[in-house]
Amino acid sequence: MSGKGEQDPVLQLLAAGLQVWVRQQCESVESLEIQLQGSALQLLRGRLEGVRLLARGVSYRNLCLELVELSSTGLQVQMGNLWRGQPVQLQQTFRISGLVSFTPEGLSQSLAQPQWRPLADQLAEDLLGIAPLVRLTIRGDRLVFTAQAVGEARPVELETTLQASEGSVLVAAAEGAVTSLLPMDPAVVVERAVLEAGMVVLEGSATVSPA
């Protein structure tokens, strides 16, 4: 979809090309809407004011995201490829801001992936003193970590709270002084981390370098 000038064929073409580009960056996307900000004239000059994106059911770098809402700064766009029926090509680094949300099931599934398993177990060690991490659940306004050591009959639980700290996410025991700060990609800055409507919601910004 496009915003201003919605029926303009040039904007429609770019919106379709951006959908292809976004889907190429992800393992899977259930639904995707893109709104363009700008005019066909600007676009013909290789410039777009920005893009707004709404996606659901996204798998990105083996992270299972329930909802993604993002907006970008201005983009430099190479239109030549689109005229030849090829995917859109973004020319320069740009900034995005917005939010992503995880269900507890999606977060548990993400942390069970080989890519993220070391992080999951490190969190379990930091917070509960044992690993591996078995699952994550939400209980009211608390994120509950459950771990079970090999050979132990019973799992161990810990209720935690989330907050943004140092551009990342600080996980803290609801009672006590135990904390763990998530390692974060230097290109990503988390500005808000909360539990809302039964989901983990992270808000912030990131720098995107087109590949």
DSSP string, 190-208: EEEEEEETTEEEEEEEEEE
pLDDT per position in the chain (211 positions), as tens? Answer: 434 434 577 788 888 888 988 999 999 999 999 999 888 788 878 888 999 999 999 999 999 999 999 999 998 887 766 666 666 777 789 999 999 999 999 999 999 999 999 999 999 999 999 999 999 999 999 999 999 988 888 999 999 999 999 999 999 999 989 999 999 999 999 999 999 999 999 999 999 887 6
DSSP string, 57-79: EEEETTEEEEEEEEEE--EEEE-
Residue with tokens 């919106």: 15
pTM over 0.85: yes
pLDDT of 114: 95
CA-to-CA distance for 161 and 176, rounded, in angstroms? Answer: 11
Helix residue ranges per DSSP H, 26-162: 40-44, 80-83, 104-111, 117-128
CA torsion 198-203-207-211 (nearest 10°) is: 20
pLDDT of 12: 83
Q: Are 87 and 20 in contact (CB under 8 A)?
A: yes
CA-to-CA distance for 92 and 123, rounded, in angstroms? Answer: 36
Partnered with residue 139 across adjacent β-strands are 142
